[in-house]
Amino acid sequence: MVGTISTYIAFNGNTTEALKHWQEVFGGELNLLTYGQLTLEGMPFDPPADALAHGVLTLDNGGLISGSDSFEGEMLVKDTAYSMLYNAESVEDGRARIDKIVAAGGEEAMKFEQAPWGGFFGQVFDKFGVMWNISSD
């Protein structure tokens, strides 16, 4: 088996909402497992039954976005120290993804346009505060 890297993110109680939103924007198959669906014997904490224990969005291109709910209190998610990168199939696809994110309450941070390295590139924060870098050749 070849090692891979994928994204895992936790929000304070609304990770399911985020994963469903990203499925609407990027497509793919979403699998969700709540704590209520698990046997919790031996768990070091007592989570709400409807909280997300593990979710996986398998994108059509093979990428993965996984996550679960966090319980540590308020979390600051919006930052530029990390981001998600989506390599669009075309310039039109890249623009369409940005438009979907903005239409759902996101904010464009860097206009999607010709980059110095020859492709197209732009940045957008989604309604959850996650920065998406959108790139296309």
27-43 pLDDT tens trace: 999 999 998 998 777 66
Residue 21 predicted with pLDDT over 70: yes
In a domain, 76, yes or no: no
pLDDT of residue 41: 76
Q: How far apart are CA 104 and CA 125, in angstroms?
A: 11
In a domain, 131, yes or no: yes
How many helices (H) and strands (E) the chain has is answered by: 2, 8
Tell me the torsion sign for CA atoms 137, 111, 81, 56: negative
User: Is the full-model pTM beyond 0.85?
Assistant: no
In a domain, 101, yes or no: yes
Shared domain check, 61 and 14: yes
Q: Which residue has the tokens 């959850």?
A: 128
pLDDT of residue 76: 57
Q: How many domains does the chain have?
A: 2
Residue 56: give the domain boundaries: 7-69
86 DSSP β-pair partners: 134
Yes or no: say if 100 and 94 are a contact pair by the CB < 8 Å rule: no
Task: Grade residue 96 by pLDDT with cuts at 50, 70 and 90.
Answer: very high
